[in-house]
Structure 1
Amino acid sequence: MAFREFDTPQVSRRALLRGGAWLTAGAALAGNPMGRMALAQGGAANWQAVTAMVDKYVSERKVANMVATLGWGARDPQYIARGTLALGGPVKADADSLYRIYSMTKPITGMAAMMLIDEGRLGLDQPIAELLPAYANMQVQKTYDGSITDVVPAERPITVRQLLTHTAGLGYGIVQKGPITTAYTDQGLIPGQVSRIPIPGIGRATPVEGLDVFADRLATLPLVLQPGSKWSYSVSLDLLGRVIEVASGMAFDEFLHKRIFEPAGMTSTWFTVPASEVGRFTTNYGIMNGTPIPMDPAKASIYLDKPPFPFGGAGLVSSPRDYDRFLKMLLGYGVIDGKRVMGELAVRVGTSNLLPETATTEGTWVEGQGFGAGGRVTDGSYGWGGAAGTVAFVNYKAGLRANLMTQYMPSDSYPIHEGFPEAVTADLAAMQGAKA
């Protein structure tokens, strides 16, 4: 089932999928001085606050499971896993359980683009119209979220940098209101999925088939903001998937598999969960009046179906172990287990602040912070979160990588996006105090 918005007391598409935008992971670690000390002391860290958080959510049956993964530098990670794949089920969650990571797909897509930039096949400030001519003469809504026929010409071209940083002026069905939202739905511009099951508050709509069709239809609709003018959460990473296809000459999902997943040893990350792996797939829950209700059971999940196109902004399923390998590769500036997956410069640039000088973040979810290749950047940290309760980041100043996975929607039912980095910070402070 794809989705279209009906704001109701039960649930709304915006509430379900806005989770990644509220991520504060890494911000609490900014400038934290104790990370290097903790790395130097060696051995397994004593993650008491993180363990307490995981224990609390699972023991109170707020979630079926929770797995926290924390690693220093290039060392093997430590896993804190509790619960079962489904409430009342027999199979325990662990490092290889499978989770819908939703918007944590965005940093992976962003790094794929950085690889092509590093290889000279894309330019950071290259107009995307050079690869996708349909974007040569874009129109912009004169009034934000107003009429889609009262438009003005774009003042500047959409660039790769803008797609990476949500500053291209593109909209998002989970963010916009008014006629543009209806137009996105009517055109099948639906870059995500929730369930095969009819859910109160979410109607059925049919996504377009093919990333090329998605890109072509998106170009026919007006932008919601002038390109390069403001940070606005958007479908830009989905469109970037099509740019990657054209620049690389490979299907987007194939590029990710061959250039990132395979060399990084990520053997459990897919757009479609193979039938052979359903036994380790979690169930996703909707939180209704404080109670978890199955909304995408593993054995009947929509993620067992091939998606209409590979959603570069929200489409991947992964495991705690696999996503840690992605973070480990980033923390190693492109190298993991002695193997280079990305160029060092590509990682350094991709995890830095890439916001255009012309773009403001005032009044947005990332006000006062930076934004890199598909993820938030805050004084040494880079990361993002997902709509079903997942969070991940690297912190270069602390030499730390961390991710937390669970499955529930909407993500703001519980303060996990904020709570996880706060728990990590509390544990780092305790380690520093113990050493002193």
Structure 2
Amino acid sequence: MIASHRLPLSRRGLLRSVAVLGAAVVFPRPLRAQEPEHWPNLRKLCQDYVSRNRVADMVAFMGFGDRDPATIAEGRDTMGGARKSDGDSLYRLYSMTKPITGMAAMMLVDEGKLSLDQPLADILPAFARMQVQKQYDGSIGPENLEPAARPILLRHLLTHTAGLSYGIIQSGPITERATEIGVVSGQVSRIPVPGFERGKPVATLAEFADRLATLPLVYQPGTHWSYSTGLDLMGRVIEVVSGQSFDSFVQDRILGPCGMPSTGFRVVPGAADRLTTNYGVVDGMLLPIDPAQSSVYLDPPAFPFGGSGLVGSPRDYDRFLKMIGNYGMLDGQRVMSEAAVRLGTSNLLPEGVSTKGTLIDGYGFGAGGRQGGPHGNTYGWAGAAGTIGFVSMASGLRSGLYTQYMPSSAYPLNREFETAVLADVRQLLRGGA
């Protein structure tokens, strides 16, 4: 998730629907669920958004278990463009990168190379003696700082409980300082766009980690859930422990084995004609902020952003969700161990952490994605530019929605997506079309 101003991060509606879906199942008519006509409310939602020019396009993927997904696609990759959007169109996934980074870390935990309760400083010594703000998001001067009472653990990075800051959340001096020193974990456009400027990031993931360590924490580690750069920093942990660059590790261990050829930290070679345009919603109008033909995603990023960097297709991300929903198996091949998936989709929050009033209030949090809920184990997250992806671990039902607009607060899409999916699921359960 990324933008320079405060994007509302609430995913309560989205993950509430995931929980209900988990409770509604075992899904009795999976074959019917493969057919787009059995998702009429979801189709209408996509049609309405495109026909009203609220977005240029919208693609939905609904899948179950091992079966291929139903695909609903409306609109064109660029408003007024020639190419019709489909499951191979390319979208800036933003924070839907986080679950992939989280599962990459789970692989190393499963192999005994990392431990959830291992101090971060064991791997990155610069984080050994952190300072913490006394007043949240206040001064970063010595009068407002105190030593960290406990070490940052790898569990904290995965669950946004390390106390790390985030440029899209904090608004005080810490964000100004982060921008000055290049602690910028994402990109929006290659051209300055008022309201969406992010600053220039440092050149390497190692340098990002070192400079991040010079900034104070906004909370004591393990005490509060606060959306953060934890998954970006986890990318550096993976580099150090694996001996591979982070992007190579993700490619070799997840994207390649899952059969996700259109996904990467830049538009993959030969696929530029499938990239969508990202729009800003300004006074009810769509203005291109990252045109497909000149997108910043056509070039290599400063470094691979583990919290927001991937660009990929609905078809590809559905394969990742399918692998997770099948506990590590995909097309008869094992990508992750069952134990690693079960751990990554379980509640990894540290005991006693405060989540009250946050977007995970009443839920757990797994490896890079929100987890659980009152009715069943679900796992997923969403991105800043209109993408949503989740899987019900109880039923194997997976769902994805893809479009491109910022800020995400411009439309109530998460809530409307929830309503449409639940209505269609109920019809399927009743045997209706």
Task: State TM-score, norm by structure 1.
Answer: 0.94
Spell out the pairing of 1:288-299 with structure 2 (5 A cutoff).
288-299=282-293
| Whole-Å separation in 2 of the counterparts to 1:190 and 1:294 | 22
Equivalent residue, structure 2, for 1:389: 386
| Whole-Å separation in 2 of the counterparts to 1:23 and 1:322 | 25
Deviations 1:351-393 (A, max 9, x none): 1111100311012121111111010112321100000000000
Deviations 1:407-436 (A, max 9, x none): 000011111122212211111111222369
Gaps of 5+ in 1: 4-11
- Checking the alignment, whether the CA contact within 8 Å between 2:262 and 2:268 is kept in structure 1 is no
Pairwise CA distance, 1:203: 4.3
Q: 1:427 aligns with which of 414, 424, 428?
A: 424
Change (3 A) 1:416 1:234: same
Deviations 1:317-376 (A, max 9, x none): 010000000000001100100010101011011111111003110121211111110101
Equivalent residue, structure 2, for 1:30: 19
| Whole-Å separation in 2 of the counterparts to 1:204 and 1:66 | 26
Letter in 1 for 2:81: G
Equivalent residue, structure 1, for 2:40: 48
| Whole-Å separation in 2 of the counterparts to 1:20 and 1:276 | 34
| Whole-Å separation in 1 of the counterparts to 2:13 and 2:239 | 31
Instruction: Give the SS at the match of 2:73.
Output: strand
Letter in 2 for 1:68: A
Change (3 A) 1:204 1:255: closer
Equivalent residue, structure 1, for 2:220: 226
| Whole-Å separation in 2 of the counterparts to 1:34 and 1:128 | 40
Change (3 A) 1:164 1:207: same
Gaps of 5+ in 2: none
Deviations 1:231-280 (A, max 9, x none): 00000000010011111111000000000011111111111113521110
Pairwise CA distance, 1:23: 5.7
Letter in 1 for 2:169: V
Spell out the pairing of 1:168-317 with structure 2 (5 A cutoff).
168-203=162-197, 205-317=199-311
Letter in 2 for 1:428: V
Change (3 A) 1:254 1:41: closer
> Superposition RMSD on alpha carbons, in Å?
1.7
Deviations 1:100-150 (A, max 9, x none): 000000000000000000000000111010000111111101111112122
Letter in 2 for 1:152: E
Letter in 2 for 1:223: L
- Checking the alignment, whether the CA contact within 8 Å between 1:25 and 1:392 is kept in structure 2 is no
- Checking the alignment, whether the CA contact within 8 Å between 1:98 and 1:318 is kept in structure 2 is yes
Pairwise CA distance, 1:198: 2.0
| Whole-Å separation in 2 of the counterparts to 1:435 and 1:294 | 40
Change (3 A) 1:267 1:23: farther
| Whole-Å separation in 2 of the counterparts to 1:40 and 1:222 | 50
- Checking the alignment, whether the CA contact within 8 Å between 2:56 and 2:78 is kept in structure 1 is yes
Q: 2:5 aligns with which of 10, 14, 21?
A: 14
1:370 partnered with 2:364: yes
Give the percent of matched residue pairs that are identical in Structure 1 and Structure 2.
56
| Whole-Å separation in 1 of the counterparts to 2:268 and 2:395 | 36
| Whole-Å separation in 1 of the counterparts to 2:30 and 2:101 | 32
Report the number of matched residues: 424
Pairwise CA distance, 1:30: 1.6
Runs of 4 or more, structure 1, over 6 Å off, are none
Letter in 2 for 1:114: M
| Whole-Å separation in 2 of the counterparts to 1:119 and 1:424 | 37
Spell out the pairing of 1:75-90 with structure 2 (5 A cutoff).
75-90=67-82
Letter in 2 for 1:59: S
- Checking the alignment, whether the CA contact within 8 Å between 2:188 and 2:198 is kept in structure 1 is no
Letter in 1 for 2:4: R
- Checking the alignment, whether the CA contact within 8 Å between 1:21 and 1:233 is kept in structure 2 is no
Change (3 A) 1:345 1:273: same
Instruction: Give the SS at the match of 1:107.
Output: helix
Instruction: Give the SS at the match of 2:25.
Output: helix
Pairwise CA distance, 1:40: 5.0
- Checking the alignment, whether the CA contact within 8 Å between 2:34 and 2:68 is kept in structure 1 is no
- Checking the alignment, whether the CA contact within 8 Å between 2:91 and 2:311 is kept in structure 1 is yes
Letter in 1 for 2:129: N
Letter in 2 for 1:304: L
Equivalent residue, structure 1, for 2:330: 336
Letter in 1 for 2:133: Q
